[in-house]
Amino acid sequence: MTERSGRLAIVIVGGGASGVLLAAHLLHDPDADIRVTLIEKRPAFGQGIAYSTTLDEHVLNVSAFGMSAYADDPEHFWRWLNSQGLAPEKNPRKIYVPRHFYADYLADVLDGLRRTEAPNGRLHTVSEECVAVATTPSGVDVRLANGTSVIGHVAVLAVGHEEHAVVGKDIAIRPGSEADTAIDPDAPVLILGTGLSMVDTWVSLAARGHRGRTIALSRRGLISSIHRKGKPIRLDLADVPLGTDLSYFVRWFRDLVRETERGGGDWRDVVDGIRPFNQRIWRSWPASARRRFIEHTRAWWDVHRHRMPPELHERITHALADGALELVAGKLAGAKRDGNGFAATIRRRGATETQTLSVARIYDCTGISSDLAAGSNPIVRSLIDRGLARPDPLRIGLDVTESCAIVRGDGQPSERLYAIGPLTRGAFFEIDAIPDIRMQCAMLARNLTARAGLVAQAG
């Protein structure tokens, strides 16, 4: 079908962290008879949005052992840090290194693969934007912006996070995007969202010497807790209630926290202890529980689950105390252009009146896209329009099976189209951190290489 019959051709759309991790897992088995084409529109592979920052203060919020490209070799990243002389002389379980180190690491992993695969042609990288993915009777046709196509048997979407502002479209911008140009350091700024992306944005502003008023707004105004070394409780799946309503689960969880704290433990021990089961719990829930979780519990969960390294937490605590950063619980009621800046109308939580702020910039750090079909990704939108994919019931990602196959509009799983990473959050929920993505990549790579064996036999 491609250059050699029998060889399974896999096209990965998106060469950010997820795409590179999948390529690495696919090529892990030197005998797998596959051809992997990795397509990335950015000049550099392995970065995506998450790892394109160059700021030292933007650190990983997972320790070095959680970040290895390979789940079965947790020290891989740590060894790389050491080989580059970048490892601080501390316990690797505790250190949080700059994120751009990770981008360099993934680029290096990919370079290594390019070298080892050069003689046998199993890896091709293409620096071009993908504009559409179509299925054909024999496989997939991945169209590029330059008018050419990449043909394969299977395509995997690894397109990562929504790149454009979702809230206040055309008014708000994503931090770190092209629109994020320098502004007057004394101008007031509004950040939508109070999670870790907000913290990143504030850190970037501080690094640019920003002095103007900086307001971070979210419904509850909650901010991430601090990382603390603890001892996660041991749980088996047999201990965890599954498939219940949300309130039942939350009661169980709170009781477990109380009991753990009575025994001298910490809530973090429970949050970290159930982490291995988060995807199973999510998948077991009926749609009603998932919806309620996203609406009511997620903000609370996120600040406990996604925590700040101690040094960063200390900085943010100081910034909040001296007013360099203001946290507001409330909603954005409206925003419009006003001279060179914007007039943002907000309603504080519990208040009936609104207030209008004059700001020079509005950043969207709200995270999960509220409606995937209305998102900016043309590939995803066109797949949905043509019935080749459908949004999950919550519309926060694409509907996929447990094995990452994209579910078509008619409810049947595709045998040609797959998705990994944040795009699959409707099915997996916690799938934006490396420890989860690398496991997903390992699973999909196992399934696809097994299929390669079958193709080879048939060929």
Partner 1 sequence: MLTKKGKYGLKALVHLSGLPAGQLAFVNDIAVANNIPKKFLDAILGELRNAGFVQSRKGKDGGYRLARLPADIKIGHVVRVLDGPLAPIPCASRTQYQACEDCEEATCQVRHMMLEVRQAIAEVLDNRSLAEMRDAANDDILADIKYQI
- What residue ranges bind partner 1 (CB under 8 A)? 233-245, 247-248, 256, 259, 284, 286, 288-289
Phi and psi at residue 377, to the nearest 5°:
-80, 115
- The dihedral built from the CA positions of residue 94, 99, 100 and 103, taken in this order, carries a sign that is positive
CB closer to partner 1 out of 205 and 407: 407
Smallest distance, partner 1 to C-beta of residue 292, A: 10
Among candidate residues 96, 12, 78, 76, the one with its CA nearest the CA of residue 46: 12
What does the block give as tokens for 118?
A: 């050069």
Among candidate residues 35, 410, 26, 344, the one with its CA nearest the CA of residue 167: 344
Smallest distance, partner 1 to C-beta of residue 262, A: 13
Report how far residue 391's alpha carbon sits from residue 395's, in angstroms, rounded to the nearest whole number: 5
CB closer to partner 1 out of 285 and 418: 285
Smallest distance, partner 1 to C-beta of residue 250, A: 12
Contact call for residues 420 and 38 (beta carbons, < 8 A): no
Q: Which helix (H) or strand (E) holds 329?
A: strand 326-338
Q: Count the helix, strand and coil residues of the chain and give each as a percent rounded to the nearest 5.
A: 35, 20, 45
Smallest distance, partner 1 to C-beta of residue 256, A: 6
Smallest distance, partner 1 to C-beta of residue 308, A: 29
Report how far residue 455's alpha carbon sits from residue 196's, in angstroms, rounded to the nearest whole number: 44
Smallest distance, partner 1 to C-beta of residue 50, A: 33
CB closer to partner 1 out of 236 and 322: 236
Other Cβ atoms closer than 10 A to 423:
32
Residue type, 46: G
Contact call for residues 210 and 401 (beta carbons, < 8 A): no
Contacts of 251 (CB under 8 A, 6+ apart): none
CB closer to partner 1 out of 244 and 356: 244
Smallest distance, partner 1 to C-beta of residue 296, A: 15
Smallest distance, partner 1 to C-beta of residue 236, A: 6
CB closer to partner 1 out of 52 and 244: 244
CB closer to partner 1 out of 211 and 254: 254
Other Cβ atoms closer than 10 A to 295:
12
Sequence-distant contacts of 186-189: CB under 8 A, at least 24 apart:
186/211, 186/212, 187/212, 187/341, 187/359, 187/360, 187/361, 188/212, 188/213, 188/214, 188/215, 188/357, 188/358, 188/359, 188/360, 189/213, 189/214, 189/215, 189/359, 189/360, 189/361, 189/362, 189/363
CB closer to partner 1 out of 240 and 332: 240
Smallest distance, partner 1 to C-beta of residue 274, A: 10
CB closer to partner 1 out of 13 and 281: 281
In the sheet that holds 355-359, the strands lie side by side as 355-359, 341-348, 326-338, 214-218, 189-192, 361-364
Smallest distance, partner 1 to C-beta of residue 447, A: 19
The phi-psi region of residue 211 (left if phi > 0; otherwise alpha if psi is between -120 and 50; otherwise beta) is: alpha
Smallest distance, partner 1 to C-beta of residue 287, A: 10
CB closer to partner 1 out of 240 and 365: 240
CB closer to partner 1 out of 3 and 236: 236
Among candidate residues 346, 313, 354, the one with its CA nearest the CA of residue 330: 346
Q: Which helix (H) or strand (E) holds 152?
A: strand 149-152
CB closer to partner 1 out of 148 and 247: 247
